Amino acid sequence: MRKPLIAGNWKMNKTVSEAVDFVNRLKSHIPLNPPGDSFRGMSDVEVVICPTFVTLSEVGKILEGSSIKLGAQNMYMQENGAYTGEISPLMLKELGCRYVIIGHSERREYFKEDNKLINAKIKLALKYQLRPILCVGETLSEYQDNQTIDVVRTEIREGLAGIDEEQMSQVAIAYEPIWAIGTGETATPSDANKVHKIIRKIISDMFDAKTGEKTRIQYGGSVKPDNMSALMEQPDIDGALVGGASLSAESFIRIVNYDKKD
């Protein structure tokens, strides 16, 4: 049984004071020890927030002792040294990060990250017990050319090259069709599920069937309170990587609860 993983990727949004305000509001909706089982986020799903680097420290302090976990949006593939402007996994670890998003399409596109670099980052994240969320997904033209599977297969094979089964148990995959990111367009739940199922098969072929079965595969791309429950009804969708809709505490709470009602 895979525990759904729902992560909010804030991207380059929120100053420290805005981040502090958000997390305090989120926490006030999520009691540390909830009575009964009413809040799905505490019992049935794993919730992660990935703020900007400069807000990690303050957000981490507020989340301490809560069930909401801290994640980073990126890291560099060296422990330390003369890499101006970069952030090491050791720094993330000390701030309490448990997850790190690697290979987001925006990093691939704007910062020219390739699968080789992404693979090096994943290996270093694993060395420091940071759980990588490896992002994969096709562009609109690749989608229109029916290349989705070839694209995600290459991203997965090259991104996870040299990783063993045990390490793979720490990795989650986020399938984010690039044409659905920030556009309001989403893959239909059943189309997304088809890709997720194939991703699971790719993982099973690379590792083994048990690893394929255990790997959590999130969907990302215009996830909103309105479409979350339909996505989560699909058997191979194990959570979401949420951008825009994770910036409002109210909508993120609804997403975590699969609550589509206003």
Would you please indicate which residues are annotated as catalytic (active-site) residues? 104, 176
Distances from the Cα of 11 to the Cα of 6, 185, 216, 262, angstroms: 15, 19, 22, 26
CB-neighbour burial class of residue 84 (10 A; exposed 0-12, middle 13-18, buried 19+):
exposed
Q: For residue 173, give the H/E element and its range.
A: strand 172-175
Which is closer to ligand 13P, CB of 80 or CB of 183?
183
Asked if residue 156 binds ligand 13P (CB under 6 A), the reply is: no
Identified binder of ligand 13P from the candidate list 134, 243, 249, 255, rule CB under 6 A: 243
Q: Would you give the binding string for ligand 13P spanning residues 162-201, x where CB under 6 A is met?
A: --------------x----xx-------------------
Which is closer to ligand 13P, CB of 4 or CB of 221?
221
Identified binder of ligand 13P from the candidate list 60, 89, 159, 220, rule CB under 6 A: 220
**Backbone phi, then psi, for 48, in 5-degree steps?**
-130, 140
**163 Cβ neighbours under 8 A, 6+ residues apart:** 122, 123, 126, 171
Which is closer to ligand 13P, CB of 211 or CB of 249?
249
Measured from the CB of residue 162, what is the shortest distance to ligand 13P in angstroms?
25
Which residue stretch of 26-34, 141-149, 215-223, 229-237 sits at the interface with ligand 13P (rule: CB under 6 A)?
215-223
Q: Which amino acid is located at 233 in the chain?
A: E
d(Cα 8, Cα 155) in Å, to the nearest integer? 22
Asked if residue 244 binds ligand 13P (CB under 6 A), the reply is: yes
Asked if residue 115 binds ligand 13P (CB under 6 A), the reply is: no
Q: Within its chain, how far is the Cα of 62 from the centroid? A: 21
Shortest CA distance to 128 belongs to which of 98, 103, 101? 98
Asked if residue 71 binds ligand 13P (CB under 6 A), the reply is: no
Measured from the CB of residue 245, what is the shortest distance to ligand 13P in angstroms?
6
Q: Which amino acid is located at 106 in the chain?
A: E
Measured from the CB of residue 32, what is the shortest distance to ligand 13P in angstroms?
27
Residues 258, 223: contact at Cβ < 8 Å? no
- The site for ligand 13P (CB under 6 A) is made up of 9, 104, 176, 181-182, 220-223, 241-245
